[in-house]
Every structure is written in structure tokens, then in C-alpha cells.
């Protein structure tokens, strides 16, 4: 192994970055000084009188803030400065003023890196006065990036410790400055970053190029990185990393593009050359992509070339094929896993691959394989609730009840899906009180005055939900149970039921289950549950997971309202259920949303025969929920555990837990989570509804 010297060539920012003239800094300021007296606030005067404010009028300060938000989105620094000045004149105590100041500084940084140095005192003073606020963290990050590009080492190193988040570009600037001071320990840190195969910004490539020219990093670290990047679908980074390797085959980038376009065609035309790392990595990239479409077909190709590949490449190929086969619920998955030589440290399964080996074994009811795979996981992974629960089940199924007992007892003290299942297996009744917890007026007042809470509520009021969410979560991060319950009540008063539930969910010792599992719109919920013959507890549980009872909830995919209906689904349900004069904007109306959502939920329940499958279908579609069944009858918990979509798997577990809690609140006694999950019929043999009835599914 090459031992790098301590003498490292200096790395400097790219020439194009350094040639930005001082005029780029002063020109905007000159223009700004000329414009300040002329900027008119026509936009402010004509801004909508009502935003996402629950129907209340916008204040003058809020109007100016929205003008500033629009100016920031369009990168109009002069308008931002004018808006900031006007806002200070109207209301210097406006809680979101810090956002406008940070936007103005960010706009100036975007125009010229010179601003980072020329106005360092102003920026530092603002950041120090607003330390911990989300908008300050964002400005701090961009300031450090600009200081790195400007080669302002002393100022950069003085401010870098204040950064609250990990940032790859800033880390690379820091290593570069340390290397300039002959701090060779930065080499090891940069090498570890390179091996970790994260998405990598340009300054890091500049740094690594210099380290490679010095011999501190070489092809031995870079080819494994390329493999990981291809596997993570970070294709541009993989290609750029490969470009730093000496004597890289000229067609590497073109061939990688061929893999992206059609992996199957690439595999038909190319054969791996074990003597060429580039050829081997392209083959592995192609076999991995192909396996995601059809694992068994990819396995047939891998068998053809298996003996011509290096041992580590064979192990990687089979681990990829096995993972895809497990996620596709192929019965061959465990056979493919058996081809991965576990004795080799380099061939050890990743966390995701090991998880899906367990899931493949669960679907095959191979409890020995479940046990052995979980026991071979690293300690940190093995402590995850899912694997403690399934290890206990594996022990129990193999007659080792004494080994299962401590695992179940530890889980039963935890309030989650696996904890509830373990408690039921130990016949432990959860201790839940629906009496509520009194919140002291002093705690309410303290929470109402928290700057983050004040900003969060104002941001939600103005329709800036992502920013409001960040503010709220940061404000909640270190609160006591008493203050969390107070925050839950404050959020409810502000019309934010999702934040109310979130705060109540965070408590550690003192719990208010009424706030965790609220029951708004009770009359309508009861009406539609009876009309559609749906379990009201299940309906409440599903809505709690979908929208947390936010009537105006709007997902990135376009789903709307309490039951998060997609526009085509809402239109179809309106037509099928006979809703007259339906228009898309009506979907946020609580009554309309519940009518259409409950109709659709009833439809998928009739189609699939049981709540567990209908819950999966509501999130991922009926076709997928149907395909995820097995060739044999499955325990409902195993079906839920082996759903291949992370979001849907988590969703189903949470909805069913919610349904259990709501059943308790509605006074239904004796309900077990295991009975709510039921038994999932096999794929073949009669209708799903008939199979469900035969299996005793309610």
C-alpha cells in the first residue's frame, strides 16, 4: 500500500471562480442605492388579502413579507432590501423578519462571493444574534461555501465550528485548508469520505484530484467507490470519479450510458473482462439494474459469467440479485443469497440486503434462516425492534421459548408495532388512560413565547408549511414532557392538528393519549363509517396517518384533504357515488373528502377482502397489494413486514396500530393487533373475499 507523503500540493479554487471581479460586488450595491427610493410596493398593495390564514386578513407586515418571499424566489436583491427596510419600519418585531434579512444576504452571496468577505462583520453579527434558527443555519452554510471558494481560510476556520449540519462541500474546503497548513490527518478524513461514496460537490473533486496526483488516493479506493455510486444510482458522480483514474478506458462513460438506457441490451453485447476493473464495474452496474426488473433473468446471465469474475465481484453480483429477488417476492431469493460467501468480510451483506434476506425467509416460513441471519447482523442492527421481534418469533417457532422471553419482555415496554405484538404474545394488557393530562397555564404561556413556536405558527398561517415544519420540530427537540403537552395544545389552538399530534407523540414518560389520538369531525366520521359499513377506528387510524387531520393537506404528488385523495381517484369516486356538481377544489371540504375517501376505501375493501390488504392498497394501489400475497397463507404481520415499498410498509404498520388505539378510545375492548392484521390468503384458489372468510378474517 502506498504511504502518502506529508507534502501535499496546494489546492486552489477553480480559476473561473476566482476571476469574478470586484465590480460584481459593487455593481448591485450601486444599483440598489439608486433604486431604494424608487421601489414601489404595488405588489404589496395588490397582494391577496387572505392567504392560508384561516380566513383572517393579512397584516401590513405579512403583506410585505410575502412580497419579500416572491423577490427571494426570483433572486431580486434590490426588492429584498427595499422590503426589509419597509418591514422594519412597519413592525421591527415581526417574527419572520430574520427570514427576510437572511434572504437578502443569500441573494447577495448568490451574486458575488466577494460579499462573503466584504460584509463579514454584518453577516457574522446576524448569525450570532440568530444562532439556532433554521434560516441562520442556511445562511451559515452558504457563507462558508462562499468563503471556501474565496480562499478565505482564517475566516472560514473561525466560523466553520458554528455550522450545525454536515455538508460535504464545506468539509472539503476544511480539509483543503488543513492540508495547506501541512495537517496530514486531513488526508485520512478525505480518504474516508471518498470511500463512503456520497454525492460529491465540485470542490471535493478538485481536492481529490490533487490527492490522487500526489498518490494519497488511488484507483484502489476509487473503483469500490464507483461500484457503490452506481448501486446508489449516483451515476454522474460515478462517471466523474472514474474520470480521475489514470488510463481509464476511453469508452467508459459511453458504455455506462448504454447501461442506463438498456441494461439487458448491454449484457447481451458485452462480456466482463476480469483483467479490466472498468469492464467488471460496468458489468456489475448492468447486472444490478437488470435484476431490479427481473431477478431470475439476471441470475441466468450471472451464472453464464460467474466463473470469469473475481470473487468479490461474484459476491456483489449475487447479493444484488438476491436483494432484488427478495423484494420481488421470488421463491429463488434464498438460493441466490446462499451464493454470497458470507465468510468473506468484503462480501458481507449490507444492512438492506440482510433485512431482505430475513424477509425472504419469513415468506418461506424458514425460521432457521430468520434466526441465523438476524444473529449474524452487527449488534446495532440486531437491536432494531423489527429484528428483536422476529428473532423472538424464530426462537419461539423452534421451541426455544426461554430465549424468546427476554426479547419479548424488552419489546413489550416499547410503544410501537413490534412492542404491541410482543405484549400480546405475553398476554400483557397495555396500560392506557383516556382521562387526559392537565396542562399548567404557565407551561402554555412559556411555549407560546418560544421564538421557534411563534415563527412556526406564523409560517403555517402564511402557507409556508415546509419552513413551519422545520421551525416547529426544532423548537420541540429539547422540551420536557409537560411542555410537549402544552405545545400540543398550543398547536391545536392554532389550527395545526398535525403538529398537535406530533408534539404529543414525543413524550417519554407522561402521555396524553387523547392528544395523540384525537377524534375531530366525529359526527361526519360516524355517519360515513355507518353509511359505508367501515370500522370507525380503522377509518380514524387511516386518516391520522394520511393527513393528521389537516383538512388542507396537500402532498407533493397532488393528494389532497383529510384522506389524501389523488385528483383522478376523487373524480372517479364522485362519479361512482353520485356526488353532484363535483369540482376539484371541493376535495378540501371535510364532508366531501370523507364522502369520496370512505367510498374508495369501501371499494378496495370489497375488492381485497380484509383491512390489512385494503390499507396497503389505499397507499400503493390494489394491484400491488394483491401481488404482494404469497403462494401460501401468511400471518398478517409477515405480509406487512415484507411489503417491498418502505413507505407502504411503514404506513400499513402505523395505520393498524392507530386503528387499535382508536378502538380502545371508542370503547371496543378485547381487540388484538394480531386480529386486526389477520391472516392473508394465498394467491391461488377462489376469490379473495371467499378465501378471507375461510381464513377467519374479519
pLDDT in tens, 36-92: 333 443 333 334 434 455 567 999 999 999 999 999 999 999 999 999 999 999 999
What are the pLDDT digits (tens) for 605-654?
999 999 999 999 999 999 999 999 999 999 999 999 999 999 999 999 99
Question: Residue 560: in which H helix or E strand, if any?
Answer: none
Strand partners, 680: 634
* Percent of the chain clearing pLDDT 90 (strictly above): 86
Tell me: pLDDT of 33 over 50.
no
* Mean pLDDT, rounded, for 544-569: 95
**551, 593 in Cβ contact below 8 A?**
yes
Give the separation between CA 691 and CA 698, rounded to whole angstroms.
11
Q: Any residues with CB less than 8 A from the CB of 102 and at least 6 apart, and which?
A: 126, 130, 135, 136, 138, 139
Question: Cβ-count burial of 380 within 10 angstroms (0-12 exposed, 13-18 middle, 19+ buried)?
Answer: exposed
Tell me: pLDDT of 572 over 70.
yes
Q: Any residues with CB less than 8 A from the CB of 212 and at least 6 apart, and which?
A: 218, 222, 244
Tell me: pLDDT of 8 over 80.
no
Confidence class for position 21, pLDDT limits 50, 70, 90: very low
Maximum C-alpha span of the chain: 84
- What does the block give as the cell for 457? 405558527
Per-residue pLDDT at 685: 52
Per-residue pLDDT at 516: 97
How distant, in Å, are the alpha carbons of 110, 317, 321, 345, 348 from that of 341?
51, 11, 14, 9, 8
Active site residues: 546
- Determine the 3-state secondary structure of 635 from DSSP: strand
* Mean pLDDT, rounded, for 204-233: 96
Per-residue pLDDT at 343: 53
Give the separation between CA 359 and CA 638, rounded to whole angstroms.
8
Strand partners, 560: 554, 565
**270, 255 in Cβ contact below 8 A?**
yes
- What does the block give as the cell for 643? 411489503
Confidence class for position 12, pLDDT limits 50, 70, 90: very low
Nearest to 525 by CA among 493, 505, 549: 549
Tell whether the torsion through CA atoms of 318, 322, 328 and 330 is positive or negative: positive
Residue 169: CB atoms within 10 A of its CB come to 17
* Mean pLDDT, rounded, for 105-111: 95
What are the pLDDT digits (tens) for 648-689?
999 999 999 999 999 999 999 889 999 999 999 998 754 444
* Mean pLDDT, rounded, for 337-345: 74
Per-residue pLDDT at 165: 81
Give the separation between CA 693 and CA 698, rounded to whole angstroms.
7
Per-residue pLDDT at 171: 96
* Mean pLDDT, rounded, for 193-213: 95
Per-residue pLDDT at 342: 66
**148, 14 in Cβ contact below 8 A?**
no
Strand partners, 679: 635
Per-residue pLDDT at 341: 80
What is the residue-averaged pLDDT of the chain? 90
Per-residue pLDDT at 526: 97
Tell me: pLDDT of 5 over 80.
no
* Percent of the chain clearing pLDDT 70 (strictly above): 89
Tell me: pLDDT of 96 over 50.
yes
Per-residue pLDDT at 479: 97
Per-residue pLDDT at 605: 98
Give the separation between CA 404 and CA 360, rounded to whole angstroms.
21
Give the separation between CA 83 and CA 91, rounded to whole angstroms.
12
Chain position carrying cell 378485547: 670
**324, 295 in Cβ contact below 8 A?**
yes
- CATH architecture of the domain 202-411 equals Alpha Horseshoe (1.25)
Chain position carrying cell 413490534: 418
Please report the beta strands in 437-566, taking only residues with DSSP state E, as ranges in sequence order.
Answer: none
- Determine the 3-state secondary structure of 390 from DSSP: helix
Tell me: pLDDT of 31 over 70.
no
Q: Any residues with CB less than 8 A from the CB of 51 and at least 6 apart, and which?
A: 58, 62, 66, 461, 462, 463
* Mean pLDDT, rounded, for 401-423: 96
Chain position carrying cell 425472504: 360
- What does the block give as the cell for 523? 359526527
Per-residue pLDDT at 25: 37
Nearest to 370 by CA among 427, 318, 317, 326: 326
Topology (CATH level 3) of domain 441-511: 1.10.1240
- CATH architecture of the domain 522-694 equals Orthogonal Bundle (1.10)
Per-residue pLDDT at 571: 95
What are the pLDDT digits (tens) for 573-601?
999 999 988 999 999 999 999 999 999 99
What are the pLDDT digits (tens) for 278-328?
999 999 999 999 999 999 999 999 999 999 999 999 999 999 999 999 999
How distant, in Å, are the alpha carbons of 196, 344, 413, 601 from that of 349?
16, 10, 31, 39
What are the pLDDT digits (tens) for 499-545?
999 999 999 999 999 999 999 999 999 999 999 999 999 999 999 99
Give the separation between CA 100 and CA 106, rounded to whole angstroms.
10
Amino acid at each position: 500500500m502506498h504511504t502518502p507523503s506529508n507534502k501535499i500540493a496546494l489546492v486552489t479554487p477553480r480559476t473561473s471562480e476566482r476571476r469574478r471581479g470586484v465590480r460584481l460586488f459593487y455593481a448591485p450595491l450601486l444599483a440598489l442605492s439608486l433604486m431604494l427610493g424608487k421601489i414601489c410596493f404595488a405588489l404589496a398593495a395588490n397582494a391577496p388579502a387572505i392567504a392560508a390564514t384561516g380566513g383572517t386578513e393579512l397584516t401590513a407586515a405579512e403583506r410585505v413579507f410575502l412580497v419579500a418571499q416572491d423577490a427571494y424566489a426570483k433572486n431580486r436583491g434590490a426588492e429584498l432590501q427595499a422590503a426589509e427596510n419597509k418591514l422594519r419600519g412597519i413592525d421591527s418585531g415581526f417574527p419572520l423578519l430574520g427570514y427576510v434579512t437572511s434572504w437578502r444576504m443569500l441573494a447577495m452571496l448568490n451574486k458575488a462571493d466577494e460579499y462573503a468577505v466584504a460584509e463579514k462583520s454584518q453577516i457574522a453579527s446576524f448569525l450570532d444574534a440568530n444562532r439556532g434558527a433554521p434560516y441562520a443555519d442556511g445562511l451559515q452554510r452558504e457563507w462558508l461555501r462562499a468563503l471556501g471558494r474565496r480562499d478565505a481560510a482564517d475566516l472560514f476556520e473561525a466560523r466553520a465550528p458554528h455550522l450545525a449540519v454536515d455538508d460535504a462541500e464545506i468539509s472539503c474546503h476544511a480539509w483543503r485548508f488543513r492540508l495547506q497548513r501541512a495537517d496530514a490527518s486531513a488526508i485520512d478524513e478525505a480518504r474516508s469520505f471518498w470511500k463512503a461514496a456520497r454525492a460529491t460537490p465540485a470542490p471535493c473533486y478538485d481536492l481529490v484530484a490533487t490527492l490522487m496526483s500526489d498518490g494519497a488516493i488511488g484507483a484502489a479506493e476509487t473503483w469500490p467507490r464507483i461500484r457503490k455510486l452506481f448501486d446508489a444510482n449516483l451515476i454522474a458522480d460515478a462517471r466523474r470519479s472514474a474520470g480521475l483514474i489514470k488510463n481509464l478506458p476511453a469508452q467508459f462513460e459511453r458504455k455506462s450510458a448504454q447501461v442506463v438506457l438498456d441494461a439487458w441490451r448491454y449484457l447481451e453485447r458485452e462480456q466482463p473482462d476480469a483483467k479490466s476493473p472498468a469492464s467488471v464495474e460496468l458489468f456489475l452496474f448492468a447486472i444490478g439494474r437488470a435484476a431490479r426488473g427481473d431477478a431470475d433473468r439476471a441470475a441466468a446471465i450471472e451464472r453464464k459469467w460467474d466463473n470469469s469474475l473475481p470473487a468479490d465481484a461474484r459476491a456483489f453480483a449475487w447479493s444484488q440479485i438476491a436483494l432484488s429477488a427478495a423484494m420481488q417476492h421470488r421463491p429463488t431469493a434464498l438460493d441466490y443469497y446462499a451464493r454470497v460467501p458470507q465468510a468473506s468480510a468484503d462480501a458481507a451483506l449490507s444492512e438492506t440486503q440482510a433485512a431482505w434476506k430475513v424477509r425472504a425467509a419469513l415468506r418461506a416460513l424458514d425460521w432457521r434462516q430468520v434466526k441465523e441471519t438476524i444473529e449474524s447482523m452487527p449488534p446495532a442492527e440486531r437491536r432494531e425492534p423489527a429484528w428483536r421481534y422476529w428473532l423472538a418469533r424464530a426462537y419461539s417457532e423452534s421451541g426455544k421459548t426461554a430465549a424468546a422471553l427476554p426479547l419479548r419482555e424488552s419489546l413489550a415496554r416499547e410503544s410501537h408495532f413490534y412492542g404491541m405484538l410482543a405484549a400480546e404474545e405475553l398476554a400483557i394488557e397495555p396500560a392506557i388512560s383516556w382521562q387526559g393530562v392537565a396542562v399548567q397555564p404557565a407551561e402554555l404561556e412559556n411555549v407560546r413565547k418560544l421564538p421557534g413556536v411563534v415563527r412556526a405558527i406564523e409560517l403555517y398561517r402564511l402557507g409556508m408549511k415546509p419552513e413551519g415544519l422545520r421551525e416547529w420540530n426544532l423548537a420541540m427537540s429539547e422540551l420536557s414532557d409537560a411542555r410537549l403537552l402544552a405545545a400540543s395544545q398550543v398547536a391545536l389552538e392554532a389550527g395545526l392538528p398535525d403538529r398537535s399530534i406530533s408534539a404529543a407523540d414525543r413524550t417519554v414518560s407522561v402521555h396524553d393519549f387523547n392528544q395523540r389520538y384525537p377524534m375531530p369531525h366525529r359526527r361526519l366520521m360516524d355517519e360515513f363509517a355507518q353509511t359505508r359499513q367501515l370500522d370507525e377506528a380503522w377509518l380514524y387510524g387511516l386518516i391520522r396517518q394520511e393527513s393528521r387531520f389537516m383538512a388542507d393537506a396537500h402532498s407533493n404528488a397532488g393528494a389532497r384533504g383529510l384522506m389524501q385523495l389523488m385528483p383522478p381517484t376523487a373524480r372517479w369516486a364522485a362519479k361512482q357515488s353520485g356526488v353532484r356538481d363535483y369540482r376539484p377544489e371541493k376535495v378540501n371540504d371535510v364532508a366531501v373528502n370523507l364522502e369520496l375517501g370512505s367510498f374508495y376505501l369501501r371499494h378496495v375493501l370489497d375488492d381485497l377482502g380484509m383491512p390489512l390488504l385494503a390499507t396497503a392498497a389505499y397507499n400503493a394501489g390494489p394491484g400491488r397489494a394483491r401481488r404482494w400475497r404469497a403462494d401460501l397463507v401468511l400471518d398478517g404481520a409477515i405480509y406487512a413486514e415484507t411489503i417491498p415499498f418502505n413507505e407502504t410498509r411503514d404506513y400499513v404498520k402505523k395505520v393498524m396500530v392507530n386503528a387499535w388505539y382508536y378502538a380502545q378510545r371508542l370503547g371496543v375492548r378485547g381487540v388484538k393487533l394480531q386480529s386486526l392484521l389477520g391472516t392473508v390468503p394465498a394467491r391461488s384458489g377462489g376469490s379473495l373475499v371467499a378465501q378471507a372468510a375461510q381464513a377467519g378474517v374479519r
